[in-house]
Amino acid sequence: MSEPALFSELKQKFTLAQQVKVALIGNPNCGKSTLFNALTGLHQKTGNYPGVTVDKKIGVCKATNPKTKQTHSFKLIDLPGTYSLFPKSLDEQVSFDVLMDAENEDYPDIILIVVDASNLKRHLLLATQLIDLGRPCMLVLNMIDAANANGIHIDEEKLQGILQVPIVSCNARQQQGIEEVKKTFFSFAAEVKRQQPVINILAIVNKDYADTVHRHIEQTSVYASLLNQRDNAEHDEKLKEYNTKFFEGFESRDTLFRFEKIKKINLECVNYSSVRKDLRVTDKLDDFITHPVYGFIIFIGVLFLIFQSIFYLAEFPMQWIEMGFSFFTQKAKEYLPDNFLTSLLTNGILAGLSGIVVFVPQIALLFGFISLLEDSGYMARVSFIMDKLMRKVGLNGRSVIPLISGMACAVPAIMSTRTISNKKERLVTILITPLMSCSARLPVFTLLIGIMIPGNERLGIFDYKGLLLTALYLMGIVVAILVAAVLKYVLKNKEKSYFMMELPVYRIPQLKTVMLTMLDKVKVFLFDAGKVIMIISVILWFLTTYGPSKEFATINKNYTEAFTKTTNDSLKQELTTAMEAQKLQASYAGHLGKIIEPAIRPLGFDWKIGISLITSIAAREVFVGTMATLYQSRDKEDNLSIRQKMMREKNPTTGKLVYNSAVCLSLLMFYAFAMQCMSTLAVVKRETNSYKWPIIQFIYMSALAYTASLVVYQLLK
């Protein structure tokens, strides 16, 4: 599409009240997504770009003309953050494709460039590249409050005169200036005119080459011409060779040239009346937080405090939830008739629900703490301090964010590896991310640790439960790094990598953002994982309630005769418990567990645990729901929690407790390393576009889990 046609179509869209497409683009950490949320509110949806798993966020923004009161609807596309128009990763490639391909369904009518006002010089590189496309552009100076508070004053009128694009300032975090941005949308879309290049890049290249570009490329945009030339083979072989030599150094020459121009723009338009306070505080904090030694100690301390807090703060809400489910289950057994539907409700549905809802407080707290770390700017420092260590195992600091995110959920963590440009490093990061203990493992860890340490045992002021949980998470980090070190030599790749990250200033996290994150993640846990757990709970209820008719008939006959021979209520209670135990072993679930028991017996696991291992392949947290169903008593008077029932479970042969420390630690090792998540395997397949790597990942993690569990049990039994 030629430029005149583009502007004509935009004006026609506006006249006909059609939806104008606006692309938000900017550097990472410029507040682009915050601005997008402020402009669109709840009128947004998230998906993936066609063919890739990169997040695609689209929203609707409505702006009203203050003079005519006419309301117009704008379609906003939140593009992945990028540092320049030279794509280095899958994220940046998506942004490039949307901006450059006129046939793309998201090709924007207007480009909304978002920059951090407190770091204008750095962000103008991308901004000038975008403006030089000659397309309709607007510039938003975000975080203007932080800039002004630290003595940075931008002459917007002079900057607008130089860049020749509409400029508006705002503070998206506090919703300040949002209406002004909307008004600028409206007036700009109604009176749009062609942008003139700010920095003519052809001034730094050979004139003969520039003429050649113009002869062979029909597009008028210089940047689109040069960058598309890099990917499109020319018919003239001689010209192709010339282009290859040119592009080898073009990006560096262009960047150096632009920064020279940007330096002059910054001197003319930005005044510094005082030393930036936030940078001064940031520098002092970073002396300790990013220190080669103290930085690691602080990071481990932060993790330790998080997991201590998770146990301490979630203890009472979890007890209330357990008591609530026990109460409703007991009342249902008392007042409802003893039939098929009552059994399904109490032993299937309520048992499955209790295994889900009881862990909501811990899930919410975990995601809340992670959101606090991200919003404060600390998570970026973790990448920085881990970079040197990661390089020794063939990765760099860019892999740290996905790995830390894996403590919440491996699925989005693996998707976030698309920012890693090096193919080998991206693949290794994908393969080791599930070794990080995610929130799905938290219910399993909590249940087993609670069985091992039922009281409030402490080491000084520290809870033993929190110490053990911290150790499990640290173990995941250590093992992930060790596996990466092995893969460094297994996977060969000569591609060089680099790590560049702009450390944001420290900010006080927004409580609203943290609460929304917690709410969103809890909803995902309840409704996504919950649906799987509920379906499996109902299936398990059927498998544990019914079995081969001959075996059940024999059990019923034997115990009916025993019941008729006694009038002792205590003895009848014992007979009922024994009958239910025999029926469970004779059920379909019991037969399935007996089949796999020989393979898992060396790990200290019985057939009931075996059933849980099979069902939890769908999702790790299904283990708890399975146990809740398997140990759900048919006794109306039994209102014990699943943890209490498992603590009392005894081996019918030896009479010893089933869940002793050796078995619990063996299970902890198994779930710490096993790939028990179909969703993770599915996203690995999508990200690698191959069945090979998820199969390899499942095999190596299963072998690691079995070996670790075997060693621990054999040493401790």
- Residue 449's Cβ-side half-sphere holds a number of Cα atoms within 13 Å equal to 23
Query: So where are the chain's domains?
Result: 3-198, 554-586
Amino acid at 327: F
Residue type, 549: S
3-198 CATH: 3.40.50.300
Residue with tokens 């072998």: 703
Neighbours of 318 (CB within 10 A): 21
The answer to whether 454 and 647 are in contact (CB under 8 A) is yes
Residue 526 and residue 523: Cα distance in Å, rounded? 5
Inter-residue contact 619 to 677 (CB < 8 Å):
yes
State the CB neighbour count (10 A cutoff) for residue 167. Answer: 18
- Write out the DSSP string of 64-111: E-TTT--EEEEEEEEPPP-SSSS--SHHHHHHHHHHH-TTSTT--SEE
pLDDT score for 216? 39
Q: Cβ neighbours of residue 165 under 8 Å, at least 6 residues apart?
A: 113, 131, 137, 138, 139, 195
Query: Which residues does residue 462 pair with via DSSP β-bridges, in sequence order?
Result: 459
Which residue in 688, 97, 505 sits closest to 697, CA to CA?
688
Q: Which two tokens stand for residue 283?
A: 């520098």
Could you tell me whether strands 110-116 and 137-142 are parallel, antiparallel, or unpaired per DSSP bridges?
Answer: parallel
pLDDT at 203 (0 to 100): 45
Contact call for residues 597 and 615 (beta carbons, < 8 A): no
Helix axes 237-269, 120-131, angle to 10 degrees: 130
- A 10 A CB-CB count for 570 gives 8
Q: How far apart are the C-alpha atoms of 666 and 647, rounded to whole Å?
A: 16
Quick one: pLDDT at residue 206? 43
- Going by C-beta distance under 8 Å and a sequence separation of 6 or more, which residues neighbour residue 307? 466, 469, 470, 473
- List Cβ neighbours of 528 (8 Å cut-off, separation of 6 or more): none
Q: What are the per-10-residue average pLDDT scores of the chain (717 residues)?
A: 54 60 87 84 52 65 71 83 79 81 83 89 88 85 83 88 89 85 76 54 44 41 50 47 54 78 87 64 78 84 78 78 81 81 77 72 78 80 81 82 77 74 86 86 86 78 81 89 90 69 73 76 70 72 79 80 74 72 77 87 89 77 74 58 80 82 93 83 80 91 94 92
Is 437 in contact with 422 (CB distance < 8 Å)? no
- Three-state secondary structure call for residue 460: coil
Say what the pLDDT of residue 9 is. Answer: 60
- Measured CA to CA, the distance from residue 691 to residue 188 in angstroms comes to 49
> CB–CB of 381/401 below 8 Å?
no
Give the pLDDT score at 489.
86
Instruction: Give pairs for 487-496: CB < 8 Å, separation 24+.
Output: 487/394, 487/428, 487/431, 487/432, 488/393, 488/394, 488/428, 491/424, 491/427, 491/428, 492/424, 493/422, 493/423, 493/424, 495/422, 495/423, 495/424, 496/422
Residue 292: C-alpha distances to residues 273, 321, 382 (Å): 34, 44, 11
Q: What's the Cα-to-Cα distance from 633 to each of 343, 568, 609, 630, 636, rounded to whole Å? A: 10, 21, 17, 8, 8
Query: Which residues are bridge partners to 603 per DSSP?
Result: none
**Contact status, residue 155 vs residue 207, Cβ threshold 8 Å:** no
